[in-house]
Each structure stands twice: as structure tokens, then as C-alpha cells.
């Protein structure tokens, strides 16, 4: 599909950039959220379950962004230097 508009383009690029870090970091948060739901016998009918779930998603995105900036990008640059120096 096509992305129309600069804002939509930046948003899609951001989602693409954090896709791998979010894949790596989301599982512990989902595990903790699931344990909270099961152990507290919460249901999706309760507003607090939705609020905590939304907060979990926001924290997951923030963690992915931090890992992207301080781990993923520096490691990719470092590996790029190593690969380009061997050519």
C-alpha cells in the first residue's frame, strides 16, 4: 500500500524501526500482565484490566524505543564498520 503524508510516513518508519526491539522486549511485559490477570482473577469486563493492558502496551513501546536507540542502532553501526573494514 501507499503511505500518504509526511506524518504518516514518519509514523510508519517509527513502527518499522521499533518492530524488532518490540518483538524482543514485549514478552516479559505480556507475561507479567498475564500473571496479574490470572492471579488476581481479573476479567476484561473490568476497566482496570483495560487500563493496565494499555499501560503495558505503552511501556512496551517505550522500552522498544530505548533499546533501539541505545542497543540496536549502536550495534548495527559497529557491525557495519566491522563488515566494511573486511572488504
Q: Would you place residue 1 in the very low, low, confident or very high pLDDT band (cuts 50, 70, 90)?
A: confident
- Convert the pLDDT of each residue in 19-60 to its tens digit: 999 998 888 999 999 999 999 998 888 999 999 999 999 999
54-69 burial, b for 16+ CB within 10 Å, e for fewer?
eebeeebbebbbebbe
Region for residue 4 given its phi and psi (left: phi exceeds 0; alpha: psi -120 to 50; beta: otherwise): beta
pLDDT at 87: 75
Amino acid at each position: 500500500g501507499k503511505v500518504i503524508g509526511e506524518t504518516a510516513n514518519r509514523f510508519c518508519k517509527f513502527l518499522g524501526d521499533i518492530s524488532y526491539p518490540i518483538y524482543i522486549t514485549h514478552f516479559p511485559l505480556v507475561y507479567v500482565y498475564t500473571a496479574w490477570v490470572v492471579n488476581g482473577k481479573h476479567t476484561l469486563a473490568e476497566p482496570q484490566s483495560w487500563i493496565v493492558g494499555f499501560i503495558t502496551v505503552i511501556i512496551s513501546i517505550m522500552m522498544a524505543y530505548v533499546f533501539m536507540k541505545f542497543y540496536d542502532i549502536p550495534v548495527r553501526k559497529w557491525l557495519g564498520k566491522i563488515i566494511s573494514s573486511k572488504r
